[in-house]
Structure 1
Amino acid sequence: MKRRSFVSGVTATALAASAAPAHSAPQRIGMSDVERLQQRFAEVIASDHRHGGQLGIEQKAASLADSALRLQESGSATQRVRGYLYGCAAAFRSSAMWAAIDGRRFDDAMVHMREAQALAEMAGDPAIKFRIWSHAGTMYRHMGRPTQALSANNVARGLHITRRDPLFASLGLARQMAIHGVARDPTGTQRTHDEAQSAMDRASRGEYRPVWLNAFYDQAELDSLALSAHLSLGQYEKAEYHAYRCLAGLRPSMRRSKAITTTRLAHAQLEQGAVDAATDTAMSVPTDAATQHPRVALMLRDFGTRLTEIAPSSTSASTWTDYARTTWRTAK
């Protein structure tokens, strides 16, 4: 699959990006150009953690990937610098892919995935290869295809970087855990949770790692993935436990993650019969996330549907209906 992507996925963008004006003076491309792109990548990551799933983030990341490819054609560079530029382009494409996944635009995510895979092969960067294949596993999980999700995530987990760095191993295992949840495999879920936790505990805190990994993967994210897995399994008490652990450990910048976790907590409470508490939790999700983040908005609508099924005549159901009507009408 990766080789097929390499042959076909990058061709259109690479050709379009190569159209530099014939009269332009040659220039030397160096590490300072790479560093500027890496700074833009850090900005994309920060924007994703604040907002997530937005079409604007996807488009910006894709545009920056094309800019990195155009830079390849604008002058001379060492092979090392060219490798870094392909790595930057792959990183931007993987962020475009993630924004599309988060926004439930799965067809677009597939396109970005193929492009990102091809660029990562040209870069020869195992960290960005891991990110892309791990994202692919998450994409298939959200699409309800656990077999394909496991296969894609296994590609990420099979990379040498997971043997060299336990934090990469931990993330691969944590995402495997969430896939086992969708596959209704409680034994696999518990096993991979324990292995992910063990790997995280072994990880050195001072080691250099890519900005995208440092920006999000920690104990709170592991608990977030455990929350997702236990919700899928219908183990609502365990899900609630991990939700509270996640919320207690989330960094203030992780606004998107906080909204998702809070919404999942409301589902876990509702399924345990805590109707009033669940409604209060759901209504505490910030309005901008509730109305503008596609995944959060969908989960909250599902919450409202389930609330009316469980307690159709309750005060909480009435309160939620009024709240939802006002919130979504105001957002239009």
Structure 2
Amino acid sequence: MPTPERARRSSKTNGSDRGGEATLDARKLLRALQAVCDGDFSVRLPGDQTGLAGKVADTFNEIVNANQRLARELERAGQIVGKDGKTRHRMSTDRRSGAWGAMEASVNTLIDDLLWPTTEVTRTISAMAKGDLSQTMALQVDGRPLKGEFLRAATIVNTMIEQMSAFTSEVTRVAREVGTEGKLGGQAAVPGASGTWKDLTDSVNSMASNLTGQVRNISEVTIAVANGDLSRKITVDVHGEILQLKEAFNTMVDQLRSFAAEVTRVAREVGTEGKLGGQAIVPGVAGTWKDLTDSVNAMATN
């Protein structure tokens, strides 16, 4: 719909006095076009012209106005979406016909495409933070396969989730086998693990290996003691509370060996060699061991 100014100029042009029609100033138009070409959308042609010159001026000014509004809307969308993080915002212009509408649609589609990876990463990372390792980034958008950096980013995120899932599964398996089922010697295997993932896997395997070595050594010595072999001790390198257990067990074996040796000596002296008055001496003995030692000594004395 023509503006009032353009309608006014049109009525003058359609009048009988065409001889008074204003002449288009080509130099002014050229300067204005050059300014617009340089990105200056503030330039305008004079609005007081009539006839063809007025129509050209009005049309030029409308084109520049439209470009100025488009530039401002692009800047506003960039600020709101890119800097303020309001990802639901889209640009909107008052001209949607032809290339103007196509330009608006293209910019909004670009925003959608650029924001999609962020939205997908947020979704998958949020799921992972909640312990759900089944979520991965889609490699297609609306039936279109991802390409370029979008595909690379999605592949990296999915690989990370897959490695974490494999690591979690393996750690759970080893912990169950060693800690619950008593299957010693289990090791976590995470194919392709590197960096921190490999360090974590190695740490779990080292823990499982150390625990296996400790338990097996304690088991071997315990079985030996139960079978009467008091020459064996726990020798595995341990620390902390396991070290306390090792020291306590080895002390017990020492006391058992000392007690057995003394009882054997007294029994041999009194019962076999006829040496009366022999007494069993077990240094540091206490509790039941002391009671047994005292009983043997009382028997030998009687």
TM above 0.5? no
Higher RCO structure, 1 or 2 (CA under 8 Å, sep 6+): 1
Structure number with greater Rg is 2
Structure 2 length-normalised TM = 0.31
Q: What TM-score do you get using the length of structure 1 for normalisation?
A: 0.29
